[in-house]
Structure 1
Amino acid sequence: MTDFVKQEWQIIRFDNDIASEIQDTVAIEYPLTVSLNGSEFATMVCSPTHLQELIIGFLASEGVIRSTKDIQSLQIDETGGFAHVELVTPIDPKNVDHSKRVIGSCCGKSRQFYFQSDVKTAKTIMSQLTIRVDQCFKLMEALQLQSEHFHDTGGVHNAALATADDLLYVHTDIGRHNALDKVYGRVLTDHVPLKDKVIVFSGRVSSEVLLKVSKIGVGIIISKSAPTDLALELARDLNITVIGFARDQKMNVYTHPERIYERVSSQGL
């Protein structure tokens, strides 16, 4: 599969009432159907890059696997849009309900709505990592510099795994949740330790996004966009620091601010 997530499209652009025919760039939307041991499990609409990481991250996020050791084989038919996964221990996809909601308890502090798979896979984060304000700004600036597909199309999201100093992996997708699944798949494939890692993100921090960050196992998410109230309730319970509107040397810290400190302050205050 090509590394490109965009293609050219002939359009007519109006500037006031003056029309001109030009080439525009649009994001590619690619349906990928995943089968487990011969039975169809789910169809994802995604960008056609890093599909193996996407599939691994998605299956882990749904609680189907815990590590890559649970996968016996993974074959991708890029032309047909199918991914065939054989699990070491077969499951019946009909028994994996990723739409049924249950009320679960999170750290005993509050009751929130989860999908059934979230109850099994969401984690309370115990990371003691702290990060300076200026490092947050630099990480977001670095993500923006690597967002060429967004600048070209305006139709994709970016998610990165980073240390406090550098971006490690950057993944792009038309779906913000897909971008995070690609990060998760890379973490599992490369066996990346997570205690000193953060997520840098281009999209809105919804409850779904927050739960994916929890499942990955990272304690800080830095986004240039806004969070939702349910995401913040979950972040407070799951011990995740949510930073939003990180742009133009400004940012909002919504939960667990003890992980964030100024350059001139003592670490940990």
Structure 2
Amino acid sequence: MSKHYPTLIKTATDVPLTIAVKAIDENGEQVDKHIACERPLTVYLNWRPIVTLMTLGARPESLALGYLKNQGFISDLQQLESIIVDWEVSSAAIITTESIQDLEEKLAEKTVTSGCGQGTVYGGFMDGLDEINLPQRRIKQSMIYSLLKNIGEYNETYKNAGAVHGCGLCLDDQIVDFVEDVGRHNAVDTLAGEMWLKETPGEDKIFYTTGRLTSEMVIKVAKMGIPILLSRSGATQMGLELAQQMGITMIARAKGKHFLIYNGADNIEFDAIPAKRPSKK
């Protein structure tokens, strides 16, 4: 079957990701700085409003698509007709011929989460988790270090303005795609939308995030078919339980030469163990 690409319609130009501002530093002096933009984006499904996300605005079409897929509202790429983005009214509409089952029931059942930039999941988000069977992939410790070094070249908005999270889709130590947004879940949904649209397989990939490894993050990565999850931040109890349930190798607090494997240690080849730091007296 040939790849299917829905029609993308943008009725306004792309929006800036940062703006220049003036601030007063600790010396009482005026300095020129940039801060991250934050704007609402209302996601529509067949012109039915679903949610309003607070976003940087880098790839609204992929964000809307990935959000609706991860929440369980849509599942058939072949039936997508168009994606319409209009920043004049801060909206992204997904138009599909797919039959949307139990839409009102899903919208009525929602859970407030710890996610920054989003914070709500709907009924249907947990559907199908028992059917996920992720492959067990082995990687080398040295490759983790190389990936962490390479990922540092992709945090452009963070370096310029701060106040954003970043997520990367990686093949070994190479970064295939990288997205920054004001919320970590916006970034993962954007990558999910890109992967779905391009029919990119996940079984050979590693997912990197600067954000916490919560239950919502673990579920989304599992739905993307990615078996290894790597974070600069920590993990939560429910996130760990779900990683164990679905066989995700979970690596947290990864920075420099340090990391903590909370699940899947058998999938890591320890070929670059660093020298131990001398103990403090």
TM class by shorter chain equals: 0.7 to 0.9
Secondary structure of 1:76's aligned partner: strand
**Which residue matches 2:20?**
8
Identity of aligned residues (%): 25
Shift of 1:118: 2.5
Cα displacement string for residues 213-246 of structure 1 (whole angstroms, at most 9, x for unaligned residues): 1111111011111111111011111111110111
- The one of 129, 144, 152 equivalent to 1:136 is 144
Q: Which runs of 5+ in 1 are unaligned?
A: 102-113
Equivalent residue letter for 1:117: G
Match of 2:86 among 45, 60, 77: 77
1:100 counterpart = 2:110: yes
Give, as a single letter, the amino acid of the residue that structure 1 aligns with 2:98: T
Distance 1:244 1:77 in 2: 37
1:26 aligns to what?
35
Q: 1:60-114: per-residue Cα shift (whole Å, max 9, x none)?
A: 101011142232221110222011222213537433237436xxxxxxxxxxxx9
Contact 2:150 2:173 in 1 (8 A): no
The yes-or-no answer on 1:238 pairing with 2:250 is no
Letter in 2 for 1:51: P
Is 1:153 paired with 2:161? yes
Cα–Cα, structure 1 residues 231 and 115, in superposed 2: closer, same or farther, change >3 Å? farther
Letter in 1 for 2:26: F
CA spacing shift, 1:8–1:233, aligned 2, 3 Å: same
SS at match of 1:187: helix
Distance of 1:78 and 1:29 partners within structure 2 = 13
Instruction: Describe how 1:111-190 pairs up with structure 2 within 5 A.
Output: 116-122=123-129, 124-190=132-198
Deviations 1:161-200 (A, max 9, x none): 1111311011111100010001101110111112211101
CA shift in 2, pair 1:256/1:82, >3 Å: same
Cα offset, 1:264, TM superposition:
7.6
Q: Are the counterparts in 2 of residues 201 and 224 from structure 1 also a CA contact under 8 Å?
A: yes
Letter in 2 for 1:172: E
Aligned match of 1:249 = 257
Whether the 8 Å CA contact 1:75–1:84 is kept in 2: the answer is yes
TM-score normalised by the chain length of structure 2: 0.83
How far apart, CA to CA, are the structure 1 residues paired with 2:184 and 2:218? 11
For 2:108 and 2:169, how far apart are their aligned partners in 1? 26
Give the counterpart letter for 2:151 in structure 1: L
The 3-state SS of whatever aligns with 1:74 is strand
Following TM superposition, by how much is the alpha carbon of 1:10 offset from its aligned partner in structure 2, in angstroms?
Answer: 1.8
Contact 1:137 1:249 in 2 (8 A): yes
Q: CA deviation at 1:3?
A: 6.8
Alpha-carbon RMSD across the aligned residues, in angstroms, is 2.1
Match of 2:221 among 213, 216, 226: 213
The residue matched to 1:97 in structure 2 has which SS?
helix
- The reply on whether 1:196 has 2:204 as its aligned counterpart is yes
Look up the equivalent residue of 1:55 and give its one-letter code.
A
Q: How does 1:31-110 map to 2 (within 5 A)?
A: 31-91=40-100, 93-97=103-107, 99-100=109-110
Deviates more, 1:63-72 or 1:174-183: 63-72
Contact kept, 8 Å, 1:125 with 1:219, in 2: the verdict is no
Q: Provide the C-alpha distance between the structure 2 equivalents of 1:95 and 1:232, rounded to a whole number of angstroms.
A: 29
C-alpha contact (below 8 Å) 1:100/1:115 kept by paired residues: yes
